[in-house]
Structure 1
Amino acid sequence: MDLDFMLSTLPAFVKAMWLTIKLSFFGIVFSFIIGLFCVLMGYFKWHFLEKICKIYIEFSRNTPLLIQLFFLYYALPKFGIHLEKIYGLNLLCLSVDESLRPSFACAVVGLSFLGGSYMAESLRAGFEAVRKQQFEAGLSLGFSHFGNLRYIIMPQALNISMPSLSANIIFLIKETSVVSIIALPDLVTLMTSLNSLTYKTNELLLMLFLGYLCIILPLSFILSRVEKRLNYA
C-alpha cells in the first residue's frame, strides 16, 4: 500500500465525495416528494392522476438507471431539451461548475425518477397499514381530509414506512456510482481516471471504499436513531 499516494489523492476524493453528497441529497429529497405525491393521489381518490402514477411507478422500477441516464443525457438534447436550462434545475446546477451542469441535471432527474417509485411503494405500504378506523375517527373528531392526513394518518404511516424509506435512501446513494457513465466526476469516475493514469488499483479501490463508507455509515446510524425515536413516539 502506497500511503503517500493515497494522501496525495485525498483532496480529489474529498471533492468527489462532496459532489456525490450533493447529488444524493437532491435525488433523495425529490424522490421523497415524488413518492409522496403518488401516494396522495390515491389517498384523495384522484383516479386519473392515480393511474398515471401507477404507470410511472411500473415504468420507473422496471427500467435500469443506466438506460434512464443515457436517455436523459444523450436523447433529450437531440429534441432540443436541455435539463440544465429548465427553471428550477438551473438553480440547482449553480452549485457545480458550468461544464458539469448538463451531467449534474441529468443525474438529479434520473435519481429522482428512479427513487420516486421506490419511495412511493414504501409510503403506500405505510398508508395501507394504518387502519381505516383511524381515518374514520379523525373525521368524527371534526378534522378535514387534510387535517386528518397531517395529524393522524401521516405520522403513523411514516413510522411504519421508516425502515423501508431508510433502505431506499441508502440504495439511492449507492446508485450514484452509475452517474460516472455520463462523465460526472463522482467517486467512481475519479477512481477510474486515476487508475488509468497510475495503475494504483489497490490504493484507489480502498479510497473508493472508504469514501462511500464515510458517506453511508454516519447516515445509516442517523436513520437507525430516527427509526428508534419514531418507534418510541
Structure 2
Amino acid sequence: MKRRHRRAPKPATEPLPQPVLIERMADGGQGVTHLDGKLCFVAGALTGERVEAAWLNRHASYDEAITTAVLHASTERVTPPCAAYERCGGCVLQHQAPDAQARDKQAQLAEKLERLGNVAPDAWLAPVRGPAWHYRRRARLGVRHVPKKGGVLVGFRERRSSFLTDMTACPVLDARLSDLIAPLRTLIGSLSIAAQVPQLEVTATDDDVLLVMRHLAPLSDADRAALTAFAAE
C-alpha cells in the first residue's frame, strides 16, 4: 500500500508590497481587499483594519493572503478564548466579536439575495441567536497516533494542513464534547489498535452523547472491554 505523505502547514510566501485596508468580510471569514485592482482575501483580518500580509496563493482572478501584522485594529477585534486558535482549522472568526459576526453574516445574505435573486427584504427580523461558545453539537474529529507528541491526538486539523491540532478542549464544541477530548486521547492510546483509528464522529443530543469510532483493524477483547467501560462512565 502506498504511504500517503502528510501535508505540513502551508507557509506564507513573500509579503504583499504594501499594507492593505480591509473593505468587508467574505463568507469564509477572510477580510476582502484589492491590491492593484485585484481581489485579495486576507485571513485573520477584519473590516476597517489596516494590515500587513503575505501571499498564500495566487490565482488568475484573485489572491489569498494571511495577516502578518495588524497596524490599525478594529474595535471589534477580541482575544480568542482558545489557546489553539492560531493553529486550529476548526473555526476562523474567534478574533471577531460575536455581535459583529452576526451583522456581517446578515450583510452577506443581503448581498446574495440582491445579486443572485434581485430581491431585497422590506425589513430584517432580529437574528436568531444562540450561545457564543459551546454551541456546536456535532463534529468529525481526526485521530492520529503521534509518539513524538506523547501518544494520540484527537481534534480538528490545523489550518492549511493535514496535521492534527494538539488540543485537549474546544470552546466551540458543546461542553460535553469538549470535555471528552482529553479522555478520548487517553482511551484510544490504550487500545491495541491505537495507530489504526483515523476518525471519530461525536454528537451531543439534549440527553445523550453519541460517539462513532472508525477503526481500520479488528478490536481485541481488551479493546472492547475498555470501550464498554468508557461508555458506562
Q: Tell me the TM-score normalised to structure 1 length.
A: 0.26
Question: Which structure carries more strand by proportion?
Answer: 2
Question: Which structure carries more helix by proportion?
Answer: 1
Q: Tell me the TM-score normalised to structure 2 length.
A: 0.26
Relative contact order: is structure 1 or structure 2 higher (C-alpha 8 Å, sep ≥ 6)? 1
